[in-house]
Amino acid sequence: MNPVSDRISTGSVAAGPATGLRTPVSAEALREVMAQFATGVVVITVGGEHIHAMTANAFSSVSLDPPTVLCSVAHSAVMHRAITAGRGFGVSILADGQEPLARRFADKKRTLGRAQFDGVDWRPGEHTGAPLLSGALAWLECALDAGLDSGDHTVFVGRVLGAGRGTDRDGHGLLFFGGRFGSAPRGAVAH
């Protein structure tokens, strides 16, 4: 019996600091370095009685078999409680013209609940009821598979129940780099 693999399979990994390593870098230093890593921008949503939305760039695919993705959410965020209670979430991958939506759902002073979606075009996801934003390049619906605590965040792993692409097949993705929003044109990857 392997205690580490047993903890991993149940979604709770107990890991402490590695011995002999120096004190971690400051939050400011990490933020400065990570600002040099360009990421896509998504809006994570939860439907139902815990309806909520949050802009995120800590999002990634995990596995193709089974299809899973992850998002990282601060313990103090309203979204943390919403995902935990709702047991699932939606993801809208934003197009470059959707910066106003990214800013809206990143604003901690906005009205919460259903009112935060006033004036926003969306539809409820077929599997989770999570709001999926119109005009997004693509979307996913996920059932919560695991939550792994790390520091002041939880990494939520979602099993993908549904996925699709928006109607703009030639659209550009919204990026976040150097503390600013930008655009990711199709075909811009060097070979």
**Neighbour count for residue 126 (Cβ, 10 Å):** 12
Helix (H) or strand (E) holding 141: strand 138-150
pLDDT tens digit at each of 191 positions of the chain: 333 333 333 444 445 555 566 768 787 887 787 776 667 899 999 999 889 999 998 899 999 999 999 999 999 999 999 999 988 999 999 999 999 999 999 999 999 999 999 999 999 999 999 999 999 999 999 999 999 998 889 999 999 999 999 877 777 888 887 777 788 666 555 44
pTM of the entire predicted model: 0.82
Closest CA to 98 of 184, 189, 186: 184
CATH number for the segment(s) 42-168: 2.30.110.10
